[in-house]
């Protein structure tokens, strides 16, 4: 996944998608940007999933190269960057939402977070429209024992 020049040559759309966002960390980074308003490198590291700095840097660089994420200087701190989903990145909302709905159906663990799942069940079309327009307010993840993500 590190080298975006090594995309599979089969022409299969599933393989293409997996080459771009199909590893353990990619959709979690996209989730954090899309649903939780994370924008800085530090925000992602503090996300609670335990991503290492080298993997995070590689994924952000790959997403930028693929046009999924845009990077700009933080106006409040000229030394750091802000990461934003592009239209191409926001177009991943249906995929992410389908995963959330699938997980909600099959994840019977007592600590499984349900906050975003319940919001999706109430108004998926509205949430998807707000994500695609960049207007979805960040959803604060609840602690694991609060069962609300």
Q: Which pLDDT tens digits describe the chain residue by residue (149 residues)? A: 444 456 677 888 888 888 888 888 999 999 999 998 999 999 899 877 889 999 999 999 999 999 999 999 989 887 889 999 999 999 999 999 999 999 999 998 888 888 889 889 999 999 999 999 888 877 766 665 544 44
Domain annotation for the chain: domains and CATH numbers: 13-146 (1.10.10.10)
Torsion of CA 38, 44, 47, 51, to 10 degrees: 160
């Amino acid at each position: 996944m590190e080298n975006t020049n090594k995309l599979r040559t089969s022409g299969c759309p599933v393989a293409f998608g997996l080459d771009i966002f199909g590893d353990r960390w990619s959709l979690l980074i996209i989730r954090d940007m899309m649903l939780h308003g994370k924008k800085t490198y530090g925000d992602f590291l503090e996300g609670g999933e335990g991503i290492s700095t080298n993997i995070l840097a590689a994924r952000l660089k790959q997403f930028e190269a693929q046009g999924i994420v845009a990077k700009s200087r933080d106006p409040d701190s000229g030394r750091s960057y802000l990461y934003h989903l592009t239209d191409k990145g926001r177009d991943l909302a249906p995929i992410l939402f389908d995963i959330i709905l699938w997980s909600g159906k099959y994840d019977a663990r007592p600590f499984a977070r349900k906050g975003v799942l319940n919001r999706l069940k109430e108004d998926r079309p509205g949430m998807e429209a707000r994500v695609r327009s960049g207007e979805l307010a960040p959803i604060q993840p609840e602690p694991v024992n609060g069962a609300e993500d």
